[in-house]
Amino acid sequence: MPSLCSSRAALAALSLAAVAALAPQPAHAVPLFAQRYNLQCGACHSVLPELNAFGNAFRERGYRLDGAPKHGTTIVALREQVGYVKDPTDGTTRRVTPAGAVLGAVEVGRVEAFVHESLGSGGGPSSLFLGYLAYGDAHSGVLYRAGLMELPLIHSPGQRNDTLTTYGYEGTLTGLNDLSLATPRWGFEAERNVGAGRISATLAVANGGGSAYGGKPVSTGRSESFAAPELGLYARFPVLDDVHVGVDALSGSRSIGVSARPAFDDRYTRLGTNLEARRGRLEFLAEQWWGRDFNADGGGNRLDSDGGFVRLRWRLGSHAYLGVREDGAAAPAATRSLLWYAEAHVTPHARVLIQQRRTIPGGPTTLEGALTIGIPWPRGQ
């Protein structure tokens, strides 16, 4: 059971967001695309920077609204995030950590170029987090991407968007393999609607090493690269009006070098299922993964892994949430944690997020928060 102090902290955090949500602000966010089409950013975003249904459909069409008039010139924006951790776990006494990112988007004919550059935090350097070209073929309905991209999972695996903590299995490392589901990949992607569902395919040849907001690099003492291209397939289909199910599959091989040892190849597979359901203001999301590394330690030993998450959110108006999520992973040691969080827009361009996390069945409780601000340049509406 959590201590009385941690329980009061969680209650205070949730109460703060609930009060802020009583008068929710319109979501203006960073108007890279909204200014172009003379829209409020709330047309695409729920709580900055998370996308709603219309925002996801806009993304799936290569960030285009064919036939709609275009306005504005904003192509660059700054997203700054100031985080707070009550009890730092990195061995320092630093509780407040600023971090940010530069976002850019420009339209060149039928191609959209998008860049997300981390500005670094915690003493880390700036680095490219995402950078790709998107092309939506209006005739075939296929969306193509090429460059440094996230995997097209049920939600944004690297940015997480509604919390500060990586979801379930998505940040798990297996054996000596440093590649996680949340790591952006260099490669190609194709997506298209099939009936009421959507399927995607990815081919990755390398991976990025940055994070959404930057961070101090962690030395692992080993080098890694793709020994063979990674192939991925992803499918999402509705089974009822407000219930969708999905299946994801990945297969690849890593070349891993450790100190003075000869490099070795680790062939791996990842298989996942997911479920998304909505009823009124209540939203449910769950994901489960199973992984297998066929040479996880360089000695020919196989390692199985698994994990996932269950998330329940209550929407307060259009731009605020209260949520609870349980994460779990085993690779092979098992870990579980429970996360309570609340978030809301407090100004048209700013979001407040507060979360409390504790390990299960018992352990230390961590209280964290963040203020995220989007600043367009030139300043848009």
Q: Tell me: pLDDT of 356 over 90.
A: yes
Looking at residue 172, its amino acid is T
For 84-103, letters b (16+ CB in 10 Å) and e give ebeeeeeeeeeeebebbbbb
Q: Tell me: pLDDT of 14 over 60.
A: no
**What is the rounded distance in angstroms from the CA atom of residue 101 to the CA atom of residue 79?**
5
Write out the DSSP string of 289-303. Answer: EEEEETTTTSSS--E
Q: Tell me: pLDDT of 378 over 60.
A: no
Q: Tell me: pLDDT of 359 over 80.
A: yes
The pTM score is: 0.86
CA Rg value for the chain: 21
Domain boundaries, the chain: 4-377
**What is the rounded distance in angstroms from the CA atom of residue 203 to the CA atom of residue 152?**
12
Q: Tell me: pLDDT of 233 over 70.
A: yes
Q: Tell me: pLDDT of 332 over 50.
A: yes
Phi/psi of residue 6, nearest 5 degrees? -65, -35
**What is the rounded distance in angstroms from the CA atom of residue 333 to the CA atom of residue 330?**
5
Maximum alpha-carbon separation in the chain: 61
Do strands 185-194 and 142-149 pair parallel, antiparallel, or not at all (unpaired)?
Answer: antiparallel
Lowest-confidence range among 293-297, 317-321, 324-328?
A: 317-321
Answer yes or no: are the C-beta atoms of 205 and 186 closer than 8 Å. yes
- End-to-end CA gap in the chain: 47
Answer yes or no: are the C-beta atoms of 103 and 79 closer than 8 Å. yes
Instruction: Name the DSSP letter for residue 210.
Output: -
253 beta partners: 228, 267
Q: Which two tokens stand for residue 136?
A: 């939506």
Scan for tokens 């996308």, then name that residue. Answer: 51
Answer yes or no: are the C-beta atoms of 248 and 237 closer than 8 Å. no
Q: Tell me: pLDDT of 15 over 50.
A: no
Q: If residue 138 lies in a helix (H) or strand (E), which one and from where to where?
A: none
Considering only residues 60 and 193, tell me which one the structure prediction assigns the higher pLDDT.
Answer: 193
Q: Residues 6 or more apart from 354 whose CB is under 8 A from it?
A: 13, 14, 16, 17, 341, 342, 343, 367, 368, 369
**What is the rounded distance in angstroms from the CA atom of residue 71 to the CA atom of residue 68?**
10
pLDDT (tens digit per residue) in 239-270: 999 999 999 999 999 999 988 778 999 999 99
**What is the rounded distance in angstroms from the CA atom of residue 43 to the CA atom of residue 58?**
10
Answer yes or no: are the C-beta atoms of 321 and 334 closer than 8 Å. no
SS3 43: helix
As a dihedral over the C-alpha atoms of residue 158, residue 30, residue 285, residue 173, rounded to 10 degrees, the angle is: 10
Fold of 4-377: Porin (2.40.160)
Q: How much is the pLDDT for 3?
A: 39
pLDDT (tens digit per residue) in 23-51: 445 544 456 777 788 777 777 777 767 78
pLDDT (tens digit per residue) in 126-157: 889 999 999 988 888 899 999 999 999 999 99
Burial of 222 (0-12, 13-18, 19+ CB in 10 A): middle
